[in-house]
Amino acid sequence: MKLAETVTFGGSHLNRGAEHRRDAGQIAALWHGGKVLLIWRGRPLLQDGGALVWLPATHDLAGQVGTALFLGMDGDGVEGDQAAFAQDISAWMPVEPVAQQAGFFDTSVQGHPDLPPSQMFHELRAVMATLSPRDAELAATARALLEWHRSHGFCASCGAKSDMVHAGWQRSCPVCNAQHFPRTDPVVIMLITRGNTVLLGRGPTWPEGMYSLLAGFIEPGETIEAAVRREVLEESAVVVGQVGYLASQPWPFPASLMIGCWGEALSDAITVDPDELQDARWVTREEMVEAFAGTHPLIKPSRKGAIARFLLDHWLADRLD
């Protein structure tokens, strides 16, 4: 798919500077002239909800290089690249805590007394479709990596507390010397078509009217193609023949890589697995246009920024090649 990498989080050709990660002295030198993105409880700091805020490493809130993640060398290619870091300040407790919203995800924002009121921490899912590709890649990388550190503090081999090394790209066990690397969990998400229709489903806990493409985790020992066929069969009883790859999307909620595929349905009849889905149905192109226009009686427009919407938009526009 020619336009594959234009998906949200689809990448901005960031120079990740992997050659610097192992050299603590070099990372410390880069830190002095570097810029720092603050992340609070998974939320990046944004200016007026639109662009990432970068603080100089000398800023009081930027913390120490020893706990910072090195994201890469960022720049416009004109004035030279600057080292970009992320610092987790989740331990900070606001005096007036952020109001937790009920709903599919929390869209409330949080300010900080040492920062201007125009700079707030935002839930990434709420702003992902409006970030520039570079900001989206940096924020997704920082969020996914921080969540991995938060949830993998102990060695999976011996249970001892492990240490962050290589500027955030590895954890090392001081007891058994095992090395651990950031996890990415592959998920297939599939545009299953039958003539003029596409297969959509909705989960039991989703907001009313929300439908999406079927999706599921790839199992150990399975190919991408086999996972597409198995998931569709399990969730809807629809048999899928030929499968192909379309586009992928890093999805840092918390650590997935969405692998967008197409698949040709060989059968029509749908039987949903009630543990996985509340409903699944064949939707025509005409109905999909109505749904995205907000005029469909049942199906609401799917969320901008998610790969399901991206694939459906390109299917409607006949741009899957």
> Which residues contribute to the site for Zn ion (CB under 5 A)?
155, 157-158, 160, 173, 175-176, 178
CB nearer to Zn ion: pick between 66 and 159:
159
Q: How far is the CB of 180 from Zn ion (least distance, A)?
A: 9
Q: How far is the CB of 182 from Zn ion (least distance, A)?
A: 17
Question: What is the sign, positive or negative, of the torsion defined by CA atoms of 17, 14, 304, 2?
Answer: negative
The nearer residue to Zn ion, 62 or 155, going by C-beta atoms, is 155
DSSP string, 208-273: TT--B-EEEEPPTT--HHHHHHHHHHHHH---EEEEEEEEEEEETTTTEEEEEEEEEES-------
DSSP one-letter string for 128-191:
TTTS-HHHHHHHHHHHHHHHHHHH--B-TTT-PBPEEEGGGTEEE-TTT--EE----EEEEEEE
Nearer of residues 178 and 239 to Zn ion, judged by Cβ: 178
**Nearest-approach distance from CB 183 to Zn ion, in angstroms:** 17
Distance (Å, whole) CA 307 – CA 299: 17
In the complex with Zn ion, the residue whose CB is nearer, 12 or 157, is 157
Nearer to Zn ion, 173 or 308 (CB): 173
Parallel, antiparallel or unpaired: strands 163-165 and 82-88: unpaired
Q: How far is the CB of 171 from Zn ion (least distance, A)?
A: 10
Give least dist CB 21 to Zn ion, A.
21
